[in-house]
Structure 1
Amino acid sequence: MYLVKCFILLAIFSSTLAQASISQLANSKVDLVVVNKSESSMSIYHEGQKIKTYQIAMGDAPQGHKLKEGDQRTPQGRYILDYKKSDSAFYKSIHISYPNEEDRLRANALGVSPGGMIMIHGQNPNSSLTPEQAQQYNWTNGCIAVTNKEMDELWRVIEEGTPIEIWP
């Protein structure tokens, strides 16, 4: 019983600490977003300090770098979060600057279209799953999905021009 109480207190403390960190960013914004595809996670940073980590859903084929349009992969590399879209089909979204020049050259060499419109976005409005259940599956077309509540949080702390690194 003691261990259960300790675990509950630790969970409450961790949640409160994360919320406090996010609240402290009200006057200054995130300066780096890092996605770790193999861990299905996305972390936000301010001045080298990790502020919070989110569980993410990605494309149906998450392993490997996106090579072409329709391959269901999430790209890998360093990009910029270049604009926000408040009227996204998936709640709200923040666009990732994929494809970059290297991606275009690779796709051109393969004779395919690199694709585009890769976003960090909220939930699928047509899903019958709860937000927590949906995050257990890779269901996007190569985008990075979080819950709508998390998207609201990210919307407040990420400005256009923020770099994003997407790791394997």
Structure 2
Amino acid sequence: MPTPDRTSLPAIVAAGQHILESDGLDAVTMAAVAERVGVRPPSLYKRVRNRDELIRLIAEAAVTELGAALAQADPGGDPRERLRAIVTALREFARARTAAYLLVFTPLTTEPPSRELLETSSAPLFDAVAEIVDHDNVLEAARTFTAWATGFIAMELNGSFHLGGDVDTAFAYGVERLAAAITDR
């Protein structure tokens, strides 16, 4: 008689996410995840090929969650207001789920999430940018906004703003100035 399945792929990924946020990427091991879901490590291999696949699945879950947060934050309407809301949602995700954020925006040694998933999660940003730049410049403008935001967020998460002033004000200023700078229309 076959052994009943004692866990599911979503439970395995959720356990990996929890370990990632609480203990960091190095702590996400097959053994640690197995312990968290209450099975022996060999049982995980029924669902996940190896640690690299586990990390990719955790990254995909983070990209999906981030995409949902960006879509939920998108108020529609004025493109600059949309950009402000979307980039603010990115910053809030980074603050709330720092390890997941870093996993998404740090090069992985494993296979990255699929292009389709990345495009879907980035759609709110691309849609907002498309309203203020020429069609031929949408990718470049979205990348510029993403690069600025991730750089700002990285400095904030690292405590690198040492010259005083209000970081929230600086963030809002940056969003406004960058939106004005990329506007083609």
- State the TM-score bracket (shorter-chain normalisation): under 0.3
Task: State the TM-score, normalizing by the size of structure 2.
Answer: 0.25
- Structure with more helix by fraction: 2
Larger radius of gyration: 2
- If asked which structure has higher relative contact order (CA below 8 Å, sep 6+), I would say 1
